[in-house]
Amino acid sequence: MASTYGAAQVLVASNRGPVSYTVGEDGSLNAKRGGGGLVSGLSAIGSDADALWVCSALSDGDREAVRRGVGEDGVRMLDIPADVHADAYNGIANSVLWFVHHMLYQTPLEPVFDTEFRRQWTSYETYNRAFAEALAEEAAQGAAVVVQDYHLTLVPGMLRELRPDLRIGHFSHTPWAPPEYFHMLPDDVAGQVLRGMLGADRLGFLTQRWADAFTACAERFAGGLGGTRIGVHGLGADADFLRQRSHEADVEERMAALREEIGEGRRTIVRVDRTELSKNIVRGLLAYRRLLASHAEWRERVVHVAFAYPSRQDLAVYRDYTAEVQRISEEINAEYGTPGWTPVVLNLKDDFARSLAAYRLADVALVNPIRDGMNLVAKEVPVVSDAGCALVLSREAGAFEELGEDAIVVNPYDVTGTAAALHEALSMRPEERAERSKRLAAAATALPPAQWFLDQLDALRG
């Protein structure tokens, strides 16, 4: 029996893996770091020899890499049929579960759970089963498996049936919806999601608020937590990596270019997000426009450097949102710009080095999501900024629980309030800004990714 077990002692499973491939014109495969906070958080596990990261092939390049047997050590990419993956990732994970947990539906018209949803749900089950089977195959006897996020809610339950010997954890990087919102899901689906997760020995969340919401859902719709334990682990920024990476030559080069674009002696308000509905980029721009309208003294003296790098572009609603971000930025530039001053420098391309260059130059960081599991950008900018930055932070970001005291806190729907917060941040005395930034950086790095992951393993095994 033991001979059928795999060799990995620690396994991670997530939809997005540490790298993604593109096929070059000459047919060569080029690897690029996976975007988003989940990858930033888990990158630290890569060096462990007994560890295996099971993820999904996301692009044609990834599928080609699997076919050619190309890959990173310690990573297994699953080549799930593209249509099944599209239903599971775009359809269920990003259009349903993400919307539920971030409370993004415009409820008079959506959601509509009809036959299309049922078809996609079947793919979601297939997709989860493929992960459960791969994990069952790769795991050594008694190994620890930590399943990540809303893409894989059914995996713990499925894996428990296949391999009762394993220690199974699940970690959510998103908020969890309150019961009255979660209950929008059809009852059988809500039940499957909860029972799937409760197949784990232990469930992890980024904040107490999201953990409490899950417990409330489990009590109301699944008869309680049963034997499943709950833990809170607030993922922090990776200070060593960020400080080193942000001083490399490509970042320095981009700093010089950005300085040119910003212009001598001007303040810089920085935001960096995936072009993601929940990040509230449009209201952020409206707040900046309000600032320029009501505080004419800032005109010509401030530049808003906004990164909205591509995310989930297969979904029309994300493409439309990107277009709206672009439209408003152009409107602001047309309304207030002068020959020597561009009020909004918008970056729609994925350029991590240029984002780090902007972090270094930031006087103010704007992080105003409607709802966000944590938001690592809020934690990264204070660590990297050269002169220390003021943080304007939504009370709805998970990071608020740890950074709220030294941030300028906003209600993300209140555009006038956010404009006032930007004014306050820009007006802050440099000494106060530097002191607050130091405290923010200390709080932001209290639980670095490697420790965050080890804590979960210890708790799972304990």
Which residue ranges make up the site for ligand UDP (CB under 6 A)? 35-38, 40, 272, 274, 309, 350-352, 355, 374-377, 380
Residues 6 or more apart from 133 whose CB is under 8 A from it? 162
Residue 102 or 289 with smaller CB distance to ligand L263DTV3: 102
> DSSP states of 58-84 as a string?
-SHHHHHHHHHT---TTEEEE---HHH
Among 170, 233, 271, 312, binds ligand L263DTV3 (CB under 6 A): 312
Which of the ranges 35-43, 256-264, 284-292, 345-353 carries the binding residues for ligand L263DTV3, by CB under 6 A? 35-43
Q: Does 38 bind ligand L263DTV3 (CB under 6 A)?
A: yes
Among 375, 394, 437, 456, binds ligand L263DTV3 (CB under 6 A): 375
Site for ligand L263DTV3 in 148-167 (CB under 6 A): 149
CA distances (Å), 35 to each of 179, 260, 361, in order? 30, 27, 22
Residue 56 or 375 with smaller CB distance to ligand UDP: 375
Q: Are 284 and 306 in contact (CB under 8 A)?
A: yes
Q: Does 279 bind ligand L263DTV3 (CB under 6 A)?
A: no
Residue 37 or 199 with smaller CB distance to ligand L263DTV3: 37
Residue 201 or 238 with smaller CB distance to ligand L263DTV3: 238
- Smallest gap from Cβ 35 to ligand UDP, in A, equals 4
Q: Does 207 bind ligand L263DTV3 (CB under 6 A)?
A: no
Tokens representing 454? 């080890």
Query: Which of ligand L263DTV3, ligand UDP, none sits in contact with 380, Cβ below 5 to 8 A by type?
Result: ligand UDP
> DSSP states of 156-206 as a string?
HHHHHHH-TTSEEEEE--S----HHHHTTS-HHHHHHHHHHHTTSSEEEES
Among candidate residues 419, 286, 324, 305, the one with its CA nearest the CA of residue 365 = 305
Residue 43 or 215 with smaller CB distance to ligand UDP: 43
The bridge status of strand 19-23 relative to strand 29-33 is antiparallel
C-alpha 239/C-alpha 438 separation (Å) is: 12
- Smallest gap from Cβ 208 to ligand UDP, in A, equals 18
Alpha helices in 224-303 (DSSP H): 239-245, 249-262, 281-294
Q: Are 139 and 116 in contact (CB under 8 A)?
A: no
**Residue 129 main-chain phi, psi, to 5 deg:** -65, -40
Q: Does 174 bind ligand L263DTV3 (CB under 6 A)?
A: yes
Query: Which of ligand UDP, ligand L263DTV3, none sits in contact with 355, Cβ below 5 to 8 A by type?
Result: ligand UDP
Question: Tokens 């721009």 belong to which residue?
Answer: 285
C-alpha 183/C-alpha 167 separation (Å) is: 29
Site for ligand L263DTV3 in 216-235 (CB under 6 A): 235
C-alpha 179/C-alpha 162 separation (Å) is: 30
The DSSP H or E segment spanning 439 is: helix 430-444
Among 85, 170, 173, 436, binds ligand L263DTV3 (CB under 6 A): 173
- Smallest gap from Cβ 376 to ligand L263DTV3, in A, equals 5
Question: Tokens 């999601």 belong to which residue?
Answer: 193
CA angle at 460 for the pair 99 and 371, rounded to the nearest 5°? 20
Letters for 398-437 (x = contact with ligand L263DTV3 by CB under 6 A, - = none) are: ----------------------------------------
- Smallest gap from Cβ 359 to ligand UDP, in A, equals 8
Which of the ranges 37-45, 130-138, 162-170, 349-357 carries the binding residues for ligand L263DTV3, by CB under 6 A? 37-45
Residue 89 or 298 with smaller CB distance to ligand L263DTV3: 89
Cβ density class 380-390: b for 16+ within 10 Å, e for less: bbbbbbeebbb
Site for ligand L263DTV3 in 93-132 (CB under 6 A): none
Q: Does 311 bind ligand L263DTV3 (CB under 6 A)?
A: yes
By rule CB under 6 A, what count of residues binds ligand L263DTV3?
A: 18
The DSSP H or E segment spanning 97 is: none
Give me the residues that bind ligand L263DTV3 (CB under 6 A), please. Answer: 16, 35-38, 41, 149, 173-174, 206, 235, 311-312, 372-376
